[in-house]
């Protein structure tokens, strides 16, 4: 039987994987709910969900993404030379994470604010609110695909 070794490297790797599970698993779950709730056609329910998704995004997914990035960087440094920034899979992972964080901060966050303002001005069932919600759901689905590509990249490790 293999011996359990808990050191800085394995601890960092655990934090890295846990952050990925929280972020990607949560994003996938939100998409399932988004599809279900959007199909209901209930404007109030959709708007409430959009506000809840913004709350979770800012308080769970954003911190998870930052922890994932930082723990990944430290894991590379603690890997005793096994992993490096020269490796294709590391470069792909870093690029995708940076793009995903930029999408979240540059579009999803501001769009959530536009949704909140549109709800205040026009009500939760308005066409403008629905338009913004459809946009944010579409972009977040694209982001989820990017995150799934990162997971594939981390498992397959192309270029090694």
Listed residue (65, 35, 87, 70) closest to 147, CA to CA: 65
Distance CA 12, CA 75 (A): 6
Residue 86 pLDDT more than 90? yes
The model carries a pTM of 0.85
Residue 2 pLDDT more than 80? no
- What is the reported pLDDT for 133? 87
Per-domain boundaries in the chain: 8-156
Task: Give tens-digit pLDDT for 23-73.
Answer: 999 999 999 998 998 888 888 888 888 888 888 888 998 899 999 999 999
Residue 1 pLDDT more than 80? no
DSSP notation for 29-60: HHHHHHHHHHHHT-HHHHHHHHHHHHHHIIII
Task: Give tens-digit pLDDT for 92-111.
Answer: 999 998 898 889 888 987 88
- What is the reported pLDDT for 49? 85
Task: Give tens-digit pLDDT for 110-155.
Answer: 888 888 888 889 988 888 988 998 899 899 999 999 999 999 999 9
């Amino acid at each position: 039987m293999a011996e359990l070794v808990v050191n800085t490297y394995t601890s960092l790797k655990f934090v890295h994987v846990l952050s990925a599970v929280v972020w990607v698993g949560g994003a996938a779950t939100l998409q399932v709910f988004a599809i279900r709730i959007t199909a209901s056609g209930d404007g109030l329910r959709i708007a409430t969900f959009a506000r809840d998704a913004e709350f979770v995004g800012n308080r769970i997914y954003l911190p998870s993404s930052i922890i994932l990035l930082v723990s990944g960087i430290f894991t590379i440094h603690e890997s005793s030379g096994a992993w490096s920034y020269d490796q294709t899979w590391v470069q792909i992972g870093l690029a995708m994470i940076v793009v995903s964080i930029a999408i979240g901060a540059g579009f999803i966050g501001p769009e959530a604010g536009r949704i909140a303002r549109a709800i205040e001005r026009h009500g939760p069932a308005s066409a403008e609110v629905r338009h913004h919600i459809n946009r944010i759901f579409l972009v977040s689905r694209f982001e989820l695909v990017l995150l799934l590509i990162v997971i594939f990249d981390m498992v397959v490790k192309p270029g090694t």
